[in-house]
Amino acid sequence: MYRILPAIVLLILSLLTLTQASANLTSSADQAETGIQAKPLVKLSPKIRISQAQPQDQSHSITSSYQHDFSFRPALLLTKLELDRASRVLGARSGRRLLSDNEALIIQGSHSQGLWGIYRPLDTYVRDEQTVVVLKRVAIAELQSREKHFSTLQVRQQQQEILRDDVVLPLDSQTRDAHSFAYSLHPIIENRLTTILGAIDGRDYVVKNQIVVLNCGQQEGVVQGSWFDLYQAPVLSELSDLLATDEKRVIEKQPNLSIGRLRGIDAEQYFSLALVTESRQPIGFDTVVKSSSFADSTHSLTAPIAIASGGEMR
């Protein structure tokens, strides 16, 4: 009996210790629960604010955008005198005939303008004793350095190989006053019939984003930004010489089919360059070109014009 008593005492003490520990844990848990504060529920819902667009001067924004693109146009017209006065590519220090964009170009003259266009002369047109040359841009370059008799350019963009004797012109409209003619949203003469002389890439047919040459210019009132519609004459009109008079009258009453639009990008006294902004089929040189009213805002702002008269190509 006396031997079992110590064991019983130890068991009782152990039970008391476990009971006290359990009570402490329960008390701590209760304190923790009472310390938690419930935060208010916030309901989020989308908020819509209707803002009124501020009116803008549409003519100013169009003019600014187009004048910027005008400085970087891919083709232009020069008179024979302007072409003779323009600087030329002399070559590169490597002595290569075909120059690439990883070489510095040497050009005639000491120049300070920063940005330059490198152009290649293409076709020559003559009208009323005035000679005009069409040039196509092959690269854009920046001034790198200049010496007393020559300057060095670094090519930044290149569409074709650069050749010696290519024409170099500053891409700054302020330095080319002869080509800074007025921008207008309207053609000078509406419903004026015009013709296409050729294309700058030498093709017989053109489509959208290609440039054509028109044999009418500033003398006839051509302005940068004028719009012209392109039409295809009725197919039977080609056979009109073989038909009777009454049949010819019927054909003449048939409407022309609208196939696209043009917009002018450059003009000299007697000639113009125009960009095809729309084409629903290939456009040939026999296409009827007629001046139109200002197009709506869905038409590209970087597009161009057209007109005509008697012209001759060399």
For residue 269, what is the domain's CATH number? Answer: 2.40.30
Task: Give the E-state strand segments of the chain in sequence order.
Answer: 75-79, 87-92, 98-99, 104-108, 115-127, 130-146, 150-158, 162-163, 167-170, 193-194, 196-199, 205-206, 211-214, 227-232, 257-267, 272-279, 283-284, 288-291, 312-313
Q: Are residues 164 and 240 in the same domain?
A: no
Q: pLDDT by residue (tens digit) across 31-71?
A: 555 555 555 665 555 555 554 544 444 333 333 333 334 44
- At 314, the amino acid letter reads R
Angle at 261 between CA 123 and CA 197, to 5 degrees: 25
Q: Are residues 204 and 150 in the same domain?
A: no
Query: Residue 141 sits in a domain of what CATH number?
Result: 2.40.10
Q: Are residues 152 and 229 in the same domain?
A: no
Q: pLDDT by residue (tens digit) across 280-309?
A: 999 998 898 887 765 443 343 333 333 333
Average pLDDT, the chain: 72
pLDDT for residue 27: 54
Percent of the chain with pLDDT over 90: 20
pLDDT for residue 225: 81
Q: Are residues 84 and 164 in the same domain?
A: yes
Q: Are residues 145 and 218 in the same domain?
A: no
- Region 170-197: mean pLDDT is 60
Closest CA to 169 of 206, 207, 118, 104: 118
Q: Are residues 238 and 278 in the same domain?
A: yes
Is 305 domain-assigned? no
Is 96 domain-assigned? yes
Host domain of residue 218: 192-292
Q: Are residues 285 and 196 in the same domain?
A: yes
Q: Are residues 142 and 211 in the same domain?
A: no
- Record the tokens describing residue 188, joined without a space: 């000078």
Q: Is the pLDDT of residue 276 over 70?
A: yes
pLDDT for residue 193: 81
Is 309 domain-assigned? no
Say how many domains are in the chain.
2
Q: Residue 145: CB partners within 8 Å, gap ≥ 6?
A: 151, 152
Q: Give the range among 14-23, 50-59, 83-92 with minimum mean pLDDT.
A: 50-59
Rounded to an integer, what distance in angstroms lies between the CA atom of residue 272 and that of residue 265? 8
Handedness of CA 183, 184, 188, 194 (dihedral sign): positive
pLDDT for residue 297: 37
- Region 76-81: mean pLDDT is 90
Q: Is the pLDDT of residue 262 over 50?
A: yes
Q: Are residues 153 and 204 in the same domain?
A: no
With tokens 């008179």, the residue in question is 79
Is 277 domain-assigned? yes
Rounded to an integer, what distance in angstroms lies between the CA atom of residue 234 and that of residue 236? 6
Q: Report whether 172 contacts 164 (CB < 8 A).
A: no
Rounded to an integer, what distance in angstroms lies between the CA atom of residue 257 and that of residue 236? 13
Bridge partners (DSSP) listed for residue 291: 228
Q: pLDDT by residue (tens digit) across 143-174?
A: 989 888 899 998 888 888 899 999 999 987 53
What burial class does residue 108 get, using C-beta atoms within 10 Å of its C-beta: 0-12 exposed, 13-18 middle, 19+ buried?
middle
Q: Which long-range contacts (CB under 8 A, 24 or more apart) does 88-92 make?
A: 88/164, 88/165, 88/166, 88/167, 88/168, 89/118, 89/162, 89/163, 89/164, 89/165, 89/166, 89/167, 89/168, 90/150, 90/164, 91/164
**pTM, rounded to two decimals:** 0.61
Q: Are residues 205 and 265 in the same domain?
A: yes
Is 36 domain-assigned? no
136 pLDDT band, cuts 50/70/90, is very high
Is 40 domain-assigned? no
Is 137 domain-assigned? yes
Q: Are residues 208 and 275 in the same domain?
A: yes
Rounded to an integer, what distance in angstroms lies between the CA atom of residue 314 and that of residue 147? 38
Is 145 domain-assigned? yes
With tokens 């984003």, the residue in question is 209
